[in-house]
Amino acid sequence: MIKMVVSSIKLNTGRSIPGVGFGTGTSFFNRGDAVADVVKHAYQAGFRSFDCARIYGTEEGLGRGIAELGVDRSELYVTTKTPDWAWSKETIVAEVEGCLKRLKLDYLDLVLHHSPAPRIGAKFMATYLTPEEIKNLPDPLDEAVMDTCRLQMWLGLQLCVEKGLVRDIGVSNFTVNHLKKLLKNPEVTITPAVNQVEFNPYIVDSPIQEYCKQTGILLQAYAPLGNGKDMLLSDPVLERIGGVHNKTAAQVALRWSLELGHCIVTKTEKFDRMKENLDLFNFTLSREEIDQITALNKNKRNFPDPSQFP
């Protein structure tokens, strides 16, 4: 078996993160056993970075899969995300401690906060919270309230770093507005290492891309191939460029994200597709090809627009 070599990207903390990660969201939701089974295949394909989240219901499965690998912890990079209902220092620390127990790990490489505000109408909320608990969540559309909540959330993540529970911390689905307001607070002593956002050739979020670049925050693209059901994977521009490099349209789209300086999180349950998603480091795109792919932008989101939250 040919071993895939996955390049890493340097974070603003001096540590590095693998350029391509294996995600356990969307179709894996609450399918911990499936995740446990697929980890071995992902590792064999070459993945060393694994991404999960409290709301996915996959932490225990990922932890079991990792334990069954029997490899040294230092070989792996594990990311999880704290949930929409954790908005105080205390609840953030408790959530991270709970994540570590479910994953059966001593530390996490990266913890992101999943959303800039509670997604009250989301289906997963009813899975974890009672109607009364949902009712008592902070108002996601109250700007002053959420500014305070985001600060307290971040102070909790900073405390997790101090406690040695987490090496690096970041956010997910944060807009330029959310980041600017957070970073201007003097109590914020750690700049987010990562902002994980929806990003692919059909949703090129230039403002957040530029702001992350300016502030040294690594943009991590989720849904880098769209939802797998739209026309992205059969886009004629991607297919034409793929033909030049003897690559698939998917590989061209993923390589494009890497060329822009982002890291990516992919998801598949098929071993051949896992290998395909990692076979990205033996070709490069020209400046003209990168610009042609960027020009495909349709501002097409498959997930809710986080700018709805002030």
The residues that are catalytic are: 56
Distance, in Å, from the CA atom of 296 to the CA atom of 203, rounded to the nearest integer, reads: 9
Side-chain half-sphere CA neighbours of 66 within 13 A: 28
Q: Say if residues 176 and 211 touch (Cβ distance below 8 Å).
A: yes
